[in-house]
Amino acid sequence: MVKGLLVDAKLNKVCGVKVKYLETDTQEEVHADLVVDASGFGSKSIEWLREYEIEVKEEKVRIDLFYATKMFKLKENEELDCCNMLMSPSFPDNPYGVLIQTIEDNRYFVTFSGYANEKAPQTDDEFYDFAENLSISNVTDFLNKAEGITDIKTYKIPYQVRRRFDLVNNVPEGLLVVGDAQCRFDPVFGQGVSVAAMEAHQLQLLLQGRKQLDKTFTQQFYKKTANIIETPWDMTTTEISRHPQLKRELTTKQKFQLWYMKQIYRLSASNSDVYIRLVRVMNLIRSPFHLFHPKVLLSVLLNRKK
């Protein structure tokens, strides 16, 4: 277990970590030129940096999200009529989400989600009642013919949190914080793993062709990852403000973004080109400008609603 950072204060450079072996309770120092913190949202990097009087700003957006998951199994002669089934929240009309995800051996995860401190289902009866209240026949039909084979696992996430290492001028050289340790997104959007993979790829690109790490390497890394994070962070933190209990002050740009995306969501239900473009943007394959193609803009203008 990592217990702290080793930092050369004179050079402002990380030189390893302090570790504790759980089996023997012994401690030692492990030296390294590069330390990558991929320990998730529970990362202690901010606390460890504070020991060296280095402060990292946190940006928080309240979501008070729960998601509850239970595994089901269908009979051998039964199957889901699609690979996966996803019903995303649509604020303010429907603040709930549902995902039925195929695993293997005819087993499936069923996940419900809700925001603003909605009560999560804790028992099997509450789980089925939650599905009934959604009034989505595909979901209730599936649950009626499936057999639950695990307990319900519930997770709660009060905030989306972004730790602004990119704004700190004196981060020790060689300390790279990635994934949820740098930014925790709303997991309902499913973008956290994609962002972490993109950050890992960016690290690979920065390391290629370097014989040694120069003094600009760490800042370059955080600037590059900030660009990766910016789009999904803006997307998820703006969308959540549609929820009547999670409203916050928005810029003119964000207000336009909410209006425009509402038109895109409506069009995507009947226009396959708009739908594919939306999926590419949501999955971080293309930038948001992909949704501003002239023919998409024309469709929005011809079909716009308040």
Q: What is the pLDDT of residue 77?
A: 78
Domain boundaries, the chain: 2-57+164-239, 61-157, 249-303
Does the structural domain 61-157 have CATH classification 3.40.50.720?
no
The rounded distance, in Å, linking the Cα atoms of 80 and 58 is 42
Q: Do 61-157 and 2-57+164-239 have the same topology in CATH?
A: no
CA–CA distance from 138 to each of 85, 109, 211, 249, 273 (Å)?
9, 15, 56, 37, 25
The rounded distance, in Å, linking the Cα atoms of 165 and 176 is 9
The rounded distance, in Å, linking the Cα atoms of 191 and 301 is 29
- CATH superfamily, domain 2-57+164-239, is FAD/NAD(P)-binding domain (3.50.50.60)
The rounded distance, in Å, linking the Cα atoms of 292 and 296 is 6
In this prediction the pTM is 0.89
pLDDT below 70 — which residues of the chain?
A: 305-306
Q: What is the pLDDT of residue 81?
A: 79
Looking at this protein, which amino acid is placed at residue 18?
K
DSSP states of the chain = -EEEEEEETTTTEEEEEEEE-TTT--EEEEE-S-EEE---TT--HHHHHHTTT----EEEEEEEEEEEEEEEE--TT---SSSEEEE--BTTTB--EEEEEE-STTEEEEEEEE-TTPPPP-SHHHHHHHHHHHT-HHHHHHHHH-EE-S--EEEEEEEEEEE-GGG-TTPPBTEEE-GGGTEE--GGG--HHHHHHHHHHHHHHHHTT-SS--TTHHHHHHHHHHHHHHHHHHHHHHHGGGSTTS-----HHHHHHHHHHHHHHHHHTT-HHHHHHHHHHHTTSS-GGGGG-HHHHHHHHHH---
Q: What is the pLDDT of residue 232?
A: 96
